[in-house]
A = this chain, B = another copy of it.
Amino acid sequence: MLILMKSEATKEDILRVCQKIETMGFRAHEIPGAQRTAIGITGNQGKIDPETFATMSGVEQAIPVTKPYKLAGRDARKENSEVSVGGEIIGGRELAIIAGPCSVESWDQLITTARAVKDAGAKFLRGGAFKPRTSPYTFQGMKEEGLVLLREARAETGLKIVTEVKDVLTLSAVSQVADVIQVGARNMSNFSLLEAVGELRTPVLLKRGISATIEELLMAAEYILAKGNLSVILCERGIRTFEPATRNTLDLSAIPVVKKLSHLPIMVDPSHGVGMWEGVTAMSLAAVAAGADGIMVEVHPNPSEALSDGYQSLKPERFKDLLEKVRRVAEVVDRSVGAEVA
Contact = CB atoms under 8 A, between A and B. Distances in A.
A54 interface: yes
Contacts of A49: 138
B222 A135 contact: yes
A38 B63 contact: no
A219 interface: yes
A210 to B, nearest CB: 6
Nearest to A243: B213
9 contacts: A2-B63, A33-B42, A54-B310, A211-B211, A239-B242, A241-B249, A246-B253, A250-B253, A328-B332
A112 interface: no
A148 interface: no
Nearest to A194: B136
A133 B309 CA distance: 32
Given A246-B257, A253-B283, A190 B190 contact: yes
Nearest to A2: B2
A282 B274 contact: no
Contacts of A226: 136-137
A288 interface: yes
Interface of A: 2, 4, 7, 29, 31-35, 38, 40, 42-47, 49-52, 54-56, 61, 63, 65-66, 68-70, 75, 132-138, 166-169, 186-187, 189-193, 195, 210-211, 213-216, 219, 222-223, 226, 239-246, 249-257, 260-261, 273-274, 276-279, 282-283, 285-291, 303-304, 306, 308-311, 325, 328-329, 331-333
A254 B248 CA distance: 11
B214 A211 contact: no
Q: How many copies does the complex hold?
A: 4
A219 B52 CA distance: 31
A252 B303 CA distance: 24
A285 B252 CA distance: 11
B54 A311 contact: yes
B241 A253 contact: no
A168 B168 contact: yes
Contacts of A38: 2, 40, 65
Contacts of A2: 2, 38, 40, 63, 65
Given A211-B240, A252-B282, A252-B286, 5 more contacts: A32-B42, A38-B40, A68-B137, A190-B190, A328-B331
A60 to B, nearest CB: 8
B192 A166 contact: yes
Most buried by B among A45, A70, A134, A333: A134
Contact of A332 (B51, B54, B66, B285): B285
B310 A282 contact: no
A303 B42 contact: no
Contact of A333 (B47, B251, B325): B325
B241 A46 contact: no
A49 B310 CA distance: 10
Contact of A4 (B44, B65, B75, B195): B65
A190 B304 CA distance: 29
Contacts of A75: 7, 35
A310 to B, nearest CB: 5
A329 B327 CA distance: 11
